[in-house]
Structure 1
Amino acid sequence: MEEHVSRRRWPLVVLTSSPFHGHMTPTLQLATALHAKGFPIAIAHSNLNPPNPSNHPSDFTFLPLSDNNLSTIEKYASFTDFISALNQNCKASFKEHLTRLIMSQGNKSIVVIFDNVMHFARIVAVDMNIPAIVFRSTSAAYFPAFLARLQIRQQGRFLEEGKSNLSLVCFSVRGY
């Protein structure tokens, strides 16, 4: 059985994650688990908070994405603006890396697993006819908080993006 597993041609798994610890760590853990099952791994990452290749198996391939030197979130009006810039800036270099991987892999298949924050990866994968799987690294508390945020916004009690200098609006959320 062990010999059969080693001869199987697994697809190259290209994972991409947002640069935040709550996203990067679970993505790298998934990569390590897939690698243990025999999958070849490539990690596409922004230059902001990149993973350290020496902390991972030597046959992992690390693909730095050109993020146009996004050095800090603070220079953006909102977190949403930062995420939008990150996605816009990384898209072209991700496509270049995938094109290069396709050329070097020959007939070997590729699959992309992407962090839901890094939605550019899905767009590129679909455009290139590569299967793509979304990976949500959020906790069980995320979805109720997301619903509460929507409810607060619908009730008009949510601060507008970019208006961070306004006094904090006090509110209570019931039912969550």
Structure 2
Amino acid sequence: MEKQEAKSLGHRLVLVVYPFQGHINPMLQLATILYTKGFSITIAHPQFNSPNHENHPEFHFVSIPDGLSKTNFSPSNFMAAISTLNSNCEAPFQQYMEEMMKVEDPHDRVASVVYDGFMHFAQAVANNLKLPGINVHTSAAATLLLFAVFPDAHHEKGYISFPESLAQAPMPELQSLDLKGLLGSTKIPIPILELRAIVTDTTKKSLNNNSEHNALP
């Protein structure tokens, strides 16, 4: 299917991709939509499980060193992979962005960094460069709401550790959901709760950042 092209707006968007199933394609689909609206697109991705560049010749791809390999990655320990990606990708991504912005065409300036929520290091880079950062979640919208209330639930209300209390004292933010059914009867591992807290905090920073900038021209 031939991709539609639109008149260039003179702005470039840098999309940062999380390199796992269910995340790559939605970001590339978003990039395609933005491209048809006239934005130039750069796809920044880890070296691990990189997208096929040949499928999208209209985009500029940048490979970021990540410290992951097929030999040291285990699908059962995706939390370690997320931590490794965020620890190892921030510095090279910051360096790439700085170098790109030094030589960028005045008619093709970077307007924003759009990143998968699991690649939260990108918000720090956007902040350092005084650029808007847009946090994108490829999962259902309800997931973000759950992320937003779970840190409080775990640390202050104890609902995660004691799911039986949900029926008696439901969280007002999630009144319409069957929380006991969602949470089950087991504890959620601390690393997952910590990730949810980080993603939620980064999303809030993204919203605050964008309130001070026009994220998309």
* Bin for the TM-score computed over the shorter chain: 0.7 to 0.9
Note the C-alpha offset of 1:114.
0.4
Q: Which has the higher helix share?
A: 2
- Of the candidates 138, 158, 167, which is equivalent to residue 187 of structure 2? 158
Deviates more, 1:86-95 or 1:62-71: 62-71
Structure 2: runs of 5 or more not aligned = 1-5, 164-185, 192-217
Distance in 1 of aligned mates of 2:16 and 2:96: 12
Runs of 4+ that moved beyond 6 A: none
Report if aligned partners of 1:152, 1:158 keep a CA contact under 8 Å in 2. Answer: no
Unaligned runs of 5+ in 1: 163-176
Post-superposition CA distance 1:122-174 (Å, at most 9, x none): 10110111111111111256357656896763328315458xxxxxxxxxxxx
Q: TM-score, normalised by structure 1?
A: 0.75
Q: CA RMSD in A?
A: 2.7
Is 1:55 aligned to residue 62 of structure 2?
no
Alignment of 1:82 onto 2:111? no
CA distance in 1, matches of 2:22, 2:37: 24
Which amino acid in the other structure matches residue 12 of structure 1?
R
Report what 1:95 is aligned to: 94
Residue in 1 that maps onto 2:139? 138
Distance 1:130 1:159 in 2: 35
Identity, in percent, stands at 32
Residue 26 (structure 2) aligns with:
26
Count of paired positions: 155
Structure 1 pair 112–74 and aligned structure 2 pair: CA distance change class (3 A): same
TM-score by length of 2: 0.62
Task: Give the 3 Å change call, closer, same or farther, for CA 121–25 of structure 1 in structure 2.
Answer: same
- In 2, Cα distance between equivalents of 1:8 and 1:116: 26
Q: 1:30-54 CA deviation, whole Å, 9 max, x = no partner? A: 0011111111000000112111011
